[in-house]
Structure 1
């Protein structure tokens, strides 16, 4: 079972962010070999923080040594190859998969540039962040292609258009 612990800070507006995050994380997990986590008796927790660009910049500098804001940061708490073992051996039936942090200013600017709503772009970023928590990355072309395919499928299952589609004029 997936449980989202979400905190929303200004300038993120009021909204149904908890439901959005739960749908996005569930869709991401369902598209991977870790799909059984959705029905596992252990509670798999993901912490999501919606904050401002300055807070994300601080975290990015502190943990990634990059002094700039970015749209999403992910902090996995479990190595993906140990995930099954950890869920089976959890003392209290709860496992913290990791943390995801989204920067409002960058998210809103990217959404506007791509002609999509902030909600749809935030959904994409939560899917993307969840895949990072599961060990997916996009450092190499093959890894990026595989991760993008899972993102496309997860977003399509939520009725959201392919964010990587390039439309030629």
Structure 2
């Protein structure tokens, strides 16, 4: 099932009389960040679907991770931006994980940054490699739900983290090395903190009542 887009493709601020040329003091209309999300739900039973986050939440979390003020890389995003979030089961997640990462078993999220085919003339040109077409996120709903319970998190907090995490991957952030991981994790914690969520890399330790890193 494909959800309808959560927002209009673009939002313009500023008005101008089409019959009058802009005066020297009149600012040009400014394109505000707007995000078009295609949500695909595949191979999920009714119970799993009932526990999914709302479309408005997916929209809010992804937009938070795309805030142009976060980094120079974010400032190069072409707006309006588009991405796909495919929410699926463990079987499809495992198949994609094996095919594209050569790893067995399902994984909580896979990120596929958009790469235009050779010779494709995009309506919105990429800007330093980051254009309006961001790519695809594939999230394994049953695994997200299970991990949240195992890590002592709410499902909402875990979903928010994975959407933010995956969206940053689409922009080229990574965590394969310590040098890469530290700034990416700091950015995730900053974004999630602004959304009202605790650090995703710490959980409550029932033994002493303190938070510990996972």
Q: Shorter-chain TM-score: what band?
A: 0.7 to 0.9
CA shift for structure 1 position 126: 0.6
Higher relative CO (Cα under 8 Å, sequence separation at least 6) belongs to 1
**Corresponding residue for residue 89 of structure 1:** 125
TM-score, with structure 2 as normaliser: 0.66
* 1:1-169 alignment runs, 5 A limit: 1-9=34-42, 10-11=44-45, 12-14=48-50, 15-30=52-67, 31-36=70-75, 42-78=79-115, 88-89=124-125, 95-165=132-202, 169=208
Structure 1 CA distance for aligned equivalents of residues 84 and 76 of structure 2: 16
Query: Which of 127-136 and 104-113 deviates more?
Result: 104-113
**Larger helix fraction of residues:** 1
Unaligned runs of 5+ residues in structure 1 are 80-85
Q: How many residues align?
A: 158
Query: Are residues 49 and 88 of structure 1, via their aligned partners in 2, closer, same or farther at CA, if it must alter by over 3 Å?
Result: closer
**Corresponding residue for residue 24 of structure 2:** none
Structure 1 CA distance for aligned equivalents of residues 140 and 124 of structure 2: 34
Structure 2 CA distance for aligned equivalents of residues 142 and 109 of structure 1: 30
Unaligned runs of 5+ residues in structure 2 are 1-33, 117-121, 209-214
Query: Which of 11-20 and 120-129 deviates more?
Result: 11-20
Listed one character per residue, the Cα deviations across residues 130-153 of structure 1 (whole Å, up to 9, x for unaligned) are: 010000000001211111011101
Listed one character per residue, the Cα deviations across residues 93-128 of structure 1 (whole Å, up to 9, x for unaligned) are: x93210001111211111112222222211110100
Structure 1 moving runs of 4+ over 6 Å: none
What's the RMSD between the two structures over aligned residues? 2.4
Q: Residues 72 and 125 of structure 1 are in contact (CA less than 8 Å); yes or no, is this contact kept in structure 2? A: yes
Structure 1 CA distance for aligned equivalents of residues 66 and 103 of structure 2: 28
Computing the radius of gyration from Cα coordinates, the structure with the larger value is 2
